[in-house]
Amino acid sequence: MRLLLTAVIIALLLAMLGFAMTNLETRTPVTLWETTYQDVPLWSIVFLSVLAGVVSVGIIAVVDGAFVRLRSRKLLREVARLEGELNWIRTQPASVRQEPDAPERAAVVTDEEVSDRLTPSPNAFMWIVDITDERHPVPVATWRVPHDEPFNRDCWFGAHQPQETVNGNIILVTWFGGGLRAVDISNPYRPEEVEHFMPAPGAGQNIVQSNDVFVDKDRGLVYLIDRLNGLDILEYRG
């Protein structure tokens, strides 16, 4: 973008110079308010017009920059105020800290493990998102397996799919090489693992890649599918 803008400015300057050189002897009358000036060089009119435009753009840029700096200062003051409040909260014992009210509506979201990743860590994990206002979703917490390790192309280890129907405070999430994780989301700001299940590798496989989970609450069953090979059916007591 800068290169294009520079090329346009150079082209305009060359065009103006060429016009001035071509019309050095051209003169024209100019009326300014009620006074008419005869034999005014045409190139000087063009030069003054361009100069007036440049000065106008410069003034606009300076004024806009002043407003940007003013807004930046206000933002810095607000950030400093929030940092001060946060630092004060950090100094308080955990027993007296107050968390905000739970969201009226919340969503459980998982990232998905992929091979064409930008960095080796972290692996895909789970989010709790406040969707009280669906037009402005706000992440309020994240959770991942404590022994998370950098990405291993031969054995993926990270979140894949949560159960599709949430009917309580316990949510089941498949975690590829981490098997099936049961996470308590009763406090959406502090999700905590309450149990996990690590299946055996499927027939002919050396690793576990738990991929999908379905909860049949009416029958009390959980169906856990491995990405490579295998199906485990568990008893559900949640």
Pairing between β-strand 35-41 and β-strand 106-110 as defined by DSSP bridges? unpaired
> Rounded to an integer, what distance in angstroms lies between the CA atom of residue 106 and that of residue 171?
13
Instruction: Please write the tens of the pLDDT for every residue from 153-184.
Output: 888 888 888 998 887 889 999 998 889 999 99
Tokens of 109: 């979201």
Confidence of residue 28 (pLDDT cuts 50, 70, 90): confident
* pLDDT score of 208: 92
More confident residue, 130 or 34: 130
pLDDT at position 96 over 70: no
- Cβ atoms of 191 and 128 within 8 Å: the answer is yes
What CA dihedral angle connects 68, 71, 75 and 78, to 10 degrees? 160
More confident residue, 210 or 111: 210
Confidence of residue 224 (pLDDT cuts 50, 70, 90): very high
Task: Identify the top-confidence range among 16-30, 63-77, 142-156, 188-202.
Answer: 188-202
- Percent of the chain at pLDDT > 70 equals 88
* pLDDT score of 1: 56
User: Among 144-158, 198-212, 214-228, which stretch is predicted with the lowest mean pLDDT?
Assistant: 144-158
DSSP 220: T
CA angle 41, 45, 46 (to 5 degrees): 115
pLDDT at position 141 over 80: yes
> Rounded to an integer, what distance in angstroms lies between the CA atom of residue 202 and that of residue 212?
14
pLDDT at position 94 over 60: no
* pLDDT score of 77: 83
> Rounded to an integer, what distance in angstroms lies between the CA atom of residue 167 and that of residue 216?
11
* pLDDT score of 198: 93
Q: Which amino acid is at 88?
A: W
More confident residue, 59 or 113: 59
Question: Count of residues for the chain?
Answer: 238
Give me the chain's average pLDDT, please: 81
User: Which residues contact residue 231 at a Cβ distance below 8 angstroms, ignoring those fewer than 6 apart?
Assistant: 223, 224, 225
**How many CB atoms are located within 10 Å of the residue 71 CB?**
10
**How many CB atoms are located within 10 Å of the residue 2 CB?**
6
> What value does the mean pLDDT take over residues 120-148?
86
Question: For the chain, where are the alpha helices, taking DSSP H only?
Answer: 2-22, 42-90
